Amino acid sequence: MKKTLLLSMILGLTVLACGVSTAVPTETIGVETLVAGTMQALTAAAPPPTPTPSGVPVSSDGVTFVIPTGLAVSANVRSTSAVEFPYINPSFGDMPQHTVFDLDNYAVQGTQFKPQIMVFRAAEYAQYTELTASIIAALQNLQYSAGQPLPESLPNGVFVAQAQPIQFQNGKGLRYLTQFDQSPLPVNNREMFYYFHGLTSDGQFYIQAILPLHSPLLVADEEPTSITPPDGVQFDWTDILNGYDAMPAYLEAVTRKLSAADPNSFTPTLPMLDALIQSINVIAP
């Protein structure tokens, strides 16, 4: 029961609201549904960066970071104008020229997304579409504390868990776990990923990271034959024939479990992924 990557159909889905996706234009994931808004200011600030982790140092195009030991063996860097997530086709044309770091020999394999860190000039990224403009605006005004709903201008999927502000070497942002689907499917280890959005302190650069990870609470993939772990939440495949009535409760239960899970229970662990993000430093060439 494999599916194609039509991610744009799901952005309207939120865990506590409705639980069922609605179709939106395939060029974007919710350009019209994600609008810039004033975020409610909760006072907690992102924790300061931790000391640089031990691992593989990476430096290119004014960007430096350290890949923690055990996460990946290297990073391949490229400059590109290719269309990047959350867009899935080039209907808006090429994106602004940007730098992409692809992590090589990553800790988990066979996932929907490749592990990547992308760096754009923020002003150019904001000019691409209304969605990219709203992402930059959200980060410019970011004041976030644990438990606060995800700022609506940031792309979210069928669930959001483990949301936390992150401060890197010369900026700050927000990370969370999520999954994007074209139709109601179980939250699973092939499609879930760690999603980070950040902005340098001088406002010049936007950083996006997509880092796949696994949880022992989730099924391996989106196949009906995949076995639910003993502590996981059973997905009711018959509910698809009954109008998805059970979907909101399923997603809420999965979100609670993932949000309460030990950060070290994930593979890679959340502290390891956070350490990667916290080591990032971006300097204008």
In the chain, where the domains are located: 7-282
Mean pLDDT for 149-158 is 90
Classify the C-alpha dihedral 162-14-147-37 as positive or negative.
Answer: positive
pLDDT at 9 over 90: no
Residue with the two structure tokens 């201008």: 153
Neighbours of 205 (CB within 10 A): 25
* Confidence band of 24 (pLDDT split at 50, 70, 90): very low
- pTM beyond cutoff 0.75: yes
DSSP state of 84: -
pLDDT tens digit sequence for 215-237: 999 999 999 999 999 999 999 99
Q: Which residues of 130-144 are buried (b: 16+ CB within 10 A; e: fewer)?
A: ebbbbbbbbbeebeb
Neighbours of 171 (CB within 10 A): 23
